[in-house]
């Protein structure tokens, strides 16, 4: 059974960089797309971006100038960096798996982490 | 971006009664491969979202058959045939055809 686990600081100061890591267990990072999704308190879900196991990335244009997603295949981990944060970046951050195959097409977000709350405050 | 619009946003339901959630997209969700990538997620209180339905009507493993999805093009529906207490939570539709991926606002299902 694939499991994802987010980790990182729960408090970040305004203008600083938010950094989170997602550890994948019970399966390989290979052949999948690895995503970050966030949910501001009491609000809906927003897709941040993904990194493919080959290293290619795709980011939401609304955050593209501030987001970097990277991969460490040796540790079965991928990471999120969000720069110049403000209070609007306060949210629960989830990592999630996505797949694509030419036979089955897209399979979005079949496995999720438990989420980690990041608060942006002085 | 493709806008996903759900209704209603709040859904009080009596135990054992059916429930229905509508989701409308601002663009067709038919992909170039002929598939329609419309997903439904359930988020129980204090939990991560869980995918229930993918490609409009395909149930994920372990999802009770009282959940069903239907629709085409830009109009989609999630139905629960008989609501149980464990179904309480927020339901989101999400389009997987266009980038960026986008979610509906969520429909909060509660027991009346």
Beta carbons within 10 angstroms of residue B72's beta carbon? 13
Q: What is the DSSP string of A30-66?
A: TT-EEEEEEE-TTS--EEEEEEETTS-EEE-TTTTTT
Instruction: Please report the pLDDT score of residue A78 as a whole number.
Output: 98
**Beta-carbon pairs below 8 A across chains A and B:** 55
CA torsion through residues A35, A38, A39, A45, sign? negative
Beta-bridged to residue A37, according to DSSP, are A47, A94
Which tokens is B77 given?
Answer: 């529906």
Q: What is the mean pLDDT of each run of 10 residues along chain B (112 residues)?
A: 98 98 98 97 98 98 98 98 98 98 98 96
Confirm or reject contact between B61 and chain A (CB < 8 A). no
Q: How far is CA A79 from CA A17, A31, A68, B82, in A?
A: 13, 17, 8, 41
Which residues in chain B have Cβ-Cβ distances shorter than 8 Å to A61?
A: 100
Contacting residues for B2 by C-beta, under 8 A, at least 6 apart: B25, B26, B27, B29, B95, B97, B98, B102
| pLDDT tens string A70-91 | 999 999 999 999 999 999 999 9
CA torsion through residues B13, B15, B20, B23, sign? positive
Flag if A47 and B39 touch (Cβ within 8 Å): no
| pLDDT tens string B68-99 | 999 999 999 999 999 999 999 999 999 999 99
Nearest to B69 by CA among B17, B21, B30: B21
B49 closest CB neighbour out of A45, A58, A60: A45
Flag if A114 and B48 touch (Cβ within 8 Å): yes
Q: Which positions 28-87 of A are in contact with B (Cβ < 8 Å)?
A: 44-47, 58, 60-62
Flag if B96 and A60 touch (Cβ within 8 Å): no
| pLDDT tens string A42-56 | 999 999 999 999 999
Element (H, E) at B6: strand B4-7
Flag if A114 and B49 touch (Cβ within 8 Å): no
Instruction: Please report the pLDDT score of residue A80 as a whole number.
Output: 98
Beta-bridged to residue B59, according to DSSP, are B53
């Amino acid at each position: 059974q694939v499991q994802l686990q987010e980790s990182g600081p729960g408090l970040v100061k305004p203008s600083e960089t938010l950094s989170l890591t997602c550890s994948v267990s019970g399966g390989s990072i290979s052949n999948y797309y690895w995503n970050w999704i966030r949910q501001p308190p009491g609000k809906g879900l927003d897709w941040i971006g993904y990194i493919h196991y080959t290293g290619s990335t795709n980011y939401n244009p609304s955050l593209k100038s501030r987001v970097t997603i990277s991969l460490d295949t040796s540790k079965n981990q991928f990471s999120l960096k969000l720069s110049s944060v403000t209070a609007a970046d306060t949210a629960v951050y989830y990592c999630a798996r996505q797949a694509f195959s030419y036979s089955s097409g897209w399979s979005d977000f079949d496995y999720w982490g438990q989420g980690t709350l990041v608060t942006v405050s002085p | 971006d493709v806008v996903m619009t759900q209704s209603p946003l709040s859904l009080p339901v009596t135990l054992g009664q059916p429930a229905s959630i509508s989701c409308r997209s601002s663009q067709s969700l038919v992909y170039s491969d002929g598939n329609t990538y419309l997903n439904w997620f359930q988020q129980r209180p204090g939990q991560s979202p869980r995918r229930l339905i993918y490609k409009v009507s395909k149930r994920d493993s372990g999802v009770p058959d009282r959940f069903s999805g239907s629709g085409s093009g830009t109009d989609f529906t999630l139905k629960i045939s008989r609501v149980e207490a464990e179904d309480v939570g927020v339901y989101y539709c999400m389009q997987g055809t266009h980038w960026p991926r986008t979610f509906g606002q969520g429909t909060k299902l509660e027991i009346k």
